[in-house]
């Protein structure tokens, strides 16, 4: 049989996942000769042999690929037969690595996990044990190509035993860049609050476990940053942690050994188990079980809890002595600030917060917070997309010029895009803080360096005071496009659903705040949206916010603003509202409303839901982002009665646009106070609001001949509201669109901005 030769170019996630040794082994199985080499943004394979063997090789390649690999495309062409006598792995070539894909950090695989618990293994009790199929990747990368010398593992030269495994193509640790062992790898140790080393190795982990059981608080260094940990089964350590962090109510995520332990305090039905146990190991927000066997103060006032399983060797070993333990594992950072990543930084910034430190000496090149996922309307919704997913690209249904989106202000991310790929960064935080803005700039530089994409066009928010807006205008100059906040949501939603370039949808944007095209505060909007522009065609009734931003922190202010024009002062004084400064603050708010001084109007959905929580006595103060709305949803899950509230549509007196009258909705609640339990009224507010916004969307979509209705914005995390909108829209014959791969909240804004920037040159007519 005559021999042939074929040249393959394979794109996708093919670096750092054991792809070259897999190709080597597959070629050996089929008796083929040639080579495989990594060219940064693709892998090149030359194979020679008989036609039958070549065909089998090409067929089996995508079928038998390594578990962490993702094959996007295989380009094959026949080439001249050279007559190779063996198959070899060629070292990586340097150069430009555009659209190169480094795999995300993943949980320790079962084989490596077994080794750290096997007394006969040289990896016994060694927490940094990894192989090609698991462990840190993105958090170790300094530059490309992805070889050991370009990662933080360059600080740890391989010992002879590891060198053998690293260089053997038949070994599962072949070219696994983080591979190491107790002889040559990073060290772990336990320190006191002064940085004094108390004990090293497994004994440090074992002692840390004992300290946690004793009720002490520890800092634990992981892949992409530090966690602060304490015993989640006891009230005292959790309350003490809250006191030290000054987080009186914000829910803590917890870590349990496995799904069986998780089921002692949370329900795994409805798809949660799949994500909780996946190799990506996100924090999965699960419904609390009736027999909630944890400290109540872990998630005060909420019906759900964020849970993750161990994903590092250290975390697995922490459960070695106490398998039924459950630990709070919260990110070591102040709200909105970057997570702590350096040992010295941890000792300084966490002083007075933690009692002991479980440290190691592997440098974290890229901080990367935990991903958070919640099942909403039967599908996974990203609250935060980071570890386990970043820097995997989002595939686009069309091509973009090289562009970048720098995000909004809160919950910020960065996106670089070119061609049919968009790379969304890890969670960054609140860029109004100088420290976070500095981190934001670092992420921009690193993402450009990692992907090789030099942006030609910059996208940013319309808000002139955002630090990210100023940054983009400075960096991009005339090539910067300012994108209205909610249109960025719509663009992200459309591309997330792979809609083609000529698509139009009826988009519903529901969130806390977004700078409107008219200079006012938006947050409950209906658009006809395309990739090239948008038209605001409906919205919520703009409500007064007495005291401006204070009304978002003290939702009782919003209640007075909403009901001010309908009820007299005497009636408003009777409302069961709480103000930090009591009657004095009430009088101040009333004066503001009477004079119009220091009052802005907003169509924000978040403010309406916050106000409902305050009126019903469910949440009096906002101590963390989204708290009143989250507690309103939790209260609504306990409802047993159906209560009807008015759904009234009007026209805006200024624009003439149709709107949902939320004042009438609140009057309905006011009239029923004391007649129904707050939980029933909470359910009624969410249900009536969802039906009202759905009916308005259906009416507008029908008039404009639109077949798809989509939902984006932070309110989309509310399962009750989203499910109701989806059901109502679908029953009316429309296709309902929800996010799939990117967050519903402001974590998707940079993605939408990059799309707008990359497409802006394609059309002079923006809509």
Active site residue ranges: 20, 38
> Of the candidates 705, 759, 684, 725, which has an alpha carbon nearest to the alpha carbon of residue 508?
725
Q: Is 70 exposed, middle or buried (0-12, 13-18, 19+ CB in 10 A)?
A: middle
Question: Of 754, 674, 710, nearest to 399 (Cα)?
Answer: 754
Side by side, the strands of the sheet bearing 254-256 are: 197-200, 188-192, 356-360, 218-221, 226-231, 326-331, 254-256, 304-308, 283-287, 372-376, 379-384
Beta bridge pairs of residue 191 = 197, 357
CA distance 355 to 231: 13
Q: What is the 3-state secondary structure (H, E, C) of 201-223?
A: CHHHHHHHHHHHHCCCCEEEECC
Gap between the Cα atoms of 355 and 191, Å rounded? 9
In the block, residue with structure tokens 């973009």 = 400
- As a whole number of angstroms, the distance between CA 394 and CA 420 comes to 8
The Cα 220–Cα 331 span in angstroms is 10
| Total Cβ atoms within 10 A of residue 159 | 15
Q: Which residues pair with 256 in a beta bridge?
A: 326
Task: Please name every residue paired with 599 in a beta bridge, in sequence order, or none if there are none.
Answer: 546
Nearest to 144 by CA among 179, 185, 92, 180: 92
414 contacts 386 by C-beta, under 8 angstroms: no
Question: What distance in Å separates the CA atoms of residue 48 and residue 388, rounded to the nearest whole number?
Answer: 37
CA–CA dist 102, 17 (Å, integer): 9
Strand, coil or helix: 379: strand
CA distance 605 to 725: 14
Tell me if 344 sits within 8 A of 194, measured CB to CB.
Answer: no
């Amino acid at each position: 049989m005559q021999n042939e030769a074929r040249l393959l170019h394979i794109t996708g996630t093919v670096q750092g996942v054991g792809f070259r040794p897999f190709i080597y082994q597959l070629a050996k199985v089929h008796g083929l000769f040639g080579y495989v080499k990594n060219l940064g943004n693709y892998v090149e394979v030359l194979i020679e042999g008989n036609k039958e063997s070549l065909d089998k090789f090409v067929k089996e390649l995508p079928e038998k690929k390594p578990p962490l690999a993702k094959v996007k495309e295989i380009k094959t062409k026949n080439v001249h037969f050279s007559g190779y006598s063996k198959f070899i792995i060629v070292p990586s070539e340097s150069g430009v690595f555009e659209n190169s894909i480094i795999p995300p950090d993943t949980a320790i695989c079962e084989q490596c996990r077994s080794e750290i618990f096997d007394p006969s293994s040289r990896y016994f009790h060694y927490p940094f044990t990894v192989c090609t199929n698991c462990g840190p990747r993105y958090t170790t990368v300094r530059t490309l190509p992805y070889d050991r010398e370009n990662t933080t593992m360059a600080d740890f030269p391989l010992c002879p035993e590891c060198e053998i495994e690293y260089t053997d193509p038949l070994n599962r640790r072949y070219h696994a860049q983080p591979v190491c062992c107790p002889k040559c790898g990073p060290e772990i140790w336990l320190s006191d609050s002064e940085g004094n080393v108390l004990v090293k190795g497994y004994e440090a982990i074992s002692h840390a476990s004992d300290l946690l059981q004793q009720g002490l608080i520890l800092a634990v260094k992981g892949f992409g940053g530090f966690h602060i940990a304490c015993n989640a089964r006891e009230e005292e350590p959790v309350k003490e942690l809250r006191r030290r962090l000054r987080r009186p109510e914000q829910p803590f995520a917890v870590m349990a050994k496995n799904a069986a332990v998780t089921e002692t305090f949370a329900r795994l039905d409805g798809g949660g188990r799949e994500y909780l146990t996946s190799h990506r190991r996100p924090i999965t927000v699960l419904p609390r079980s009736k027999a909630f066997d944890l400290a109540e103060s872990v998630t005060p006032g909420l019906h759900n809890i964020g849970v993750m399983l161990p994903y590092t060797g250290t975390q697995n070993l922490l459960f070695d002595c106490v398998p039924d333990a459950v630990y709070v594992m919260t990110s070591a950072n102040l709200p909105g600030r970057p997570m702590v990543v350096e040992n010295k930084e941890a000792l300084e910034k966490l002083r007075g917060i933690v009692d002991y430190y479980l440290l190691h000496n592997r440098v974290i090149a890229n901080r990367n917070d935990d991903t958070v996922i919640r099942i909403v309307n039967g599908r996974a919704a990203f609250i935060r997309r980071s570890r386990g997913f970043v820097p995997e690209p989002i595939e686009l249904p069309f091509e973009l010029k090289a562009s970048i989106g720098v995000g909004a202000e809160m919950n910020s991310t960065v996106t670089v895009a070119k061609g049919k790929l968009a790379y969304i960064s890890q969670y960054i935080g609140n860029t109004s803080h100088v420290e976070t803005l500095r981190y934001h700039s670092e992420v921009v530089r690193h993402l450009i360096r990692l992907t090789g994409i030099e942006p030609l066009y910059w996208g940013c928010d319309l808000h002139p005071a955002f630090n990210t807006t100023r940054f983009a205008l400075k960096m991009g100059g005339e090539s910067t496009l300012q994108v209205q906040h909610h249109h960025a949501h719509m663009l992200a939603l459309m591309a997330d659903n792979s809609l083609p370039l000529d698509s139009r949808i009826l988009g519903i944007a529901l969130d806390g705040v977004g700078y409107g095209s008219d200079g006012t505060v938006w947050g409950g909007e209906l658009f006809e949206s395309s990739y090239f522009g948008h038209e605001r065609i409906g919205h919520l009734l703009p409500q007064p916010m007495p005291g401006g931003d204070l009304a978002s922190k003290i939702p009782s202010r919003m209640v007075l603003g909403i009901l001010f024009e309908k009820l007299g002062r005497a009636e408003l004084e009777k409302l069961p509202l709480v103000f930090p400064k009591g009657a004095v603050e009430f009088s101040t708010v009333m004066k503001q409303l009477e004079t119009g001084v220091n009052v802005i109007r907003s169509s924000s959905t978040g403010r309406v839901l916050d106000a409902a929580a305050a009126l019903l006595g469910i949440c009096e103060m906002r101590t963390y982002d989204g708290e009143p709305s989250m507690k309103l949803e939790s209260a609504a899950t306990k409802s047993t009665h159906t209560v009807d509230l008015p759904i009234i549509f009007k026209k805006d007196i200024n624009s003439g646009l149709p709107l949902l009258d939320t004042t009438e909705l609140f009057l309905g609640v006011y009239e029923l106070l004391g007649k129904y339990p707050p939980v029933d009224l909470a359910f009624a507010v969410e249900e009536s609001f969802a039906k009202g916004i759905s009916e308005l969307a259906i009416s507008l979509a029908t008039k404009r001949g639109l077949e798809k209705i989509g939902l984006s914005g932070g309110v989309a995390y509310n399962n009750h509201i989203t499910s109701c909108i989806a059901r109502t829209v679908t029953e009316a014959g429309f296709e309902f669109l929800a996010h799939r791969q990117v967050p519903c909240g402001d974590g998707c804004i940079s993605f939408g901005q990059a799309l707008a920037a990359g497409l802006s040159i394609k059309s002079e007519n923006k809509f």
